Structures are given as C-alpha cells and as structure tokens.
Amino acid sequence: MFGLVISPSELASALLGALTLYGVVSFFLRRKSDDSDVNWSPFEAVGVTVAIFFGTQLVIGLIALLIGAAKGLTADQVNSILDSSAGWQFAMVLSIESMTAWLVYVFLKRRKTLLSAIGVVRPQLRDVWYAIGGFFIYFGVYALFIFNIISHFFPQLDVDQKQELGFNTGTTGPELIFVFLSLVILPPLVEELLVRGFLYTGLRTKLPIITAAVLTSLAFAAAHLQWGSGNSLLWTAAADTFTLSLVLIWLRQKTGSLWPGIGVHFIKNGLAFIALFILKVS
C-alpha cells in the first residue's frame, strides 16, 4: 500500500484550479433567462470571479513575456524591466484591470443583466458623505478594535510585515503619477466592480446577507494574503481587508450603489500612498 500525502497548499491549488475551470465554463455558458435581475448562481459567481482574477493576470503576463521574446528578451529580463519601471508596471496594472472590467461587462451582457444590478448606478452627492463616514467606521473598527485583538491574542504574527505593492517606495518625480493611478485609482474601481458588485450580488441570490457578506470578505481577504510571494502569509493585511470589505458591503446594501464603497477605497489607498510614497513613512 502506498500512502498519498497531499499538503494543504497542494489541496488549495487543486481546488482553485477546479474552481477556475468551472468559472471559465460558466463564463461561456449561455443560461436561459429566468426573468430575474441577477441571472447567475452563487457558485457561478465564485467560479467566474476566481477565473477572471487569475485569468487576467495569466493572460497579461503571457502577453508581456511574448512581447519580450519577440524583442529577444528572456523571462528574467522582462521581469527585471517590469520591476524597475513604474511606467511598465502601470501598463501591466492598467491592462489587467481593464480586462477584468471588460470581462465582467461581457458576462453581464451574455446573461442579459444591467450594470445597475451590481451597483453601477449614477453617482450622487450623498455618496461622498457615505464614503467619508464609511472610512471612519472602517478605521475605528480595525485600528481601535481588530488590530488590538490581533496584537494581543496572536503575538506570533508580525503586525509590522510589509505588503508587497509592486512599486519601489523610493519612486519620485513624474513616475509617482503612474504609482498613484495604479494603487489609488484603478484598484478601487475594478475591485469594487468585481467583488462587491459581481461576486456579492451573485452570492446574495440564494444566501442570507450575512453569509454572503462573510464569504465575499473572506475571498477578498484571501486575495491579499500574498500567496506565492515567497514571504510568510500576510495575515494582518487579510484581517484589514476583511474588515474593510464588511464595511463596503454594508454601504452597498445601504445605498444600492458601489460608489460609496469606491470612495472609501479611494480614501484608504490614497492615505497609504501619501504615507509611503510622499512622506516616506516606513
């Protein structure tokens, strides 16, 4: 008898692979309309979200390598250029985020669903006040409550571990514009569209609000653990983004719009940008 031992990471990779494959199939599957505003199931929402999240990064990464190969560059040389150039990193981020938004739009169109069904509605002045209030709620809950709990009950976790941003914090001059666009503008727009818009809306079709909110936030937190970076998992960032996601979902439910959540996301990422790239706070 031969024992087969599968590590948790291998099991997670296999499950993600299967879920991604299911998401790809679901994306191209034409489902008969049931006259509802949201024409996809919770499982389809998860599968398509995972497929889009990983698929866009894979496709854009392969395109970059193919362009480099056409110019006689090795994969290491391409990666070196991307790591050293804020402009090229911005081009990568812009390509990935644009493809993500486009794929969400294509899926909605194939399922005959309006963008308003996932919270893409006309912005209103009230969204500004909800965004400001939402940010202070998030900051108060995490900074004054969750962070202290983590520090007290999980002292083994490195609460000072840095998140990999993909940009050198020593970047100066015009390249800061690329960093600002890549970290402050694009992620809030596209992450809210995909996560609090598409994913959460799909989960809400069959699940209670709290269950859908927790599952959505767990997925969002897992995406910020920095899997595959070579460093230890970033649990503090996961706790931070989990808390943030719950507040953003509350705003989504309260207003029926993604804009207040996008505003909170803008504020959070903007303050981080100022601290790390302008004030150089380590």
Chunk the chain into consecutive blocks of 10 residues (it has 282) and report each block's average pLDDT, rounded to whole numbers: 60 84 90 74 95 95 94 91 89 97 96 94 97 96 82 70 73 88 96 98 95 97 77 82 96 97 97 90 70
Angle between helices 235-255 and 209-222 (to 10 degrees): 140
Q: What is the pLDDT of residue 164?
A: 75
Q: What is the pLDDT of residue 201?
A: 97
Q: Extract the tokens encoding 43.
A: 């499982």
End-to-end CA distance of the chain: 54
Q: What is the pLDDT of residue 1?
A: 45
Q: Would you say 258 and 123 are in contact if contact means Cβ atoms under 8 Å apart? A: no
Q: Extract the tokens encoding 155.
A: 């002292």
Q: What is the pLDDT of residue 24?
A: 93
Q: What is the pLDDT of residue 204?
A: 95
Cβ-in-10-Å burial (0-12, 13-18, 19+) of 157 comes to middle
Q: What is the pLDDT of residue 208?
A: 96
pTM over the 0.85 mark: yes
Q: Position 92: which residue type?
A: M
Q: What is the pLDDT of residue 258?
A: 98
Handedness of CA 8, 9, 12, 13 (dihedral sign): negative
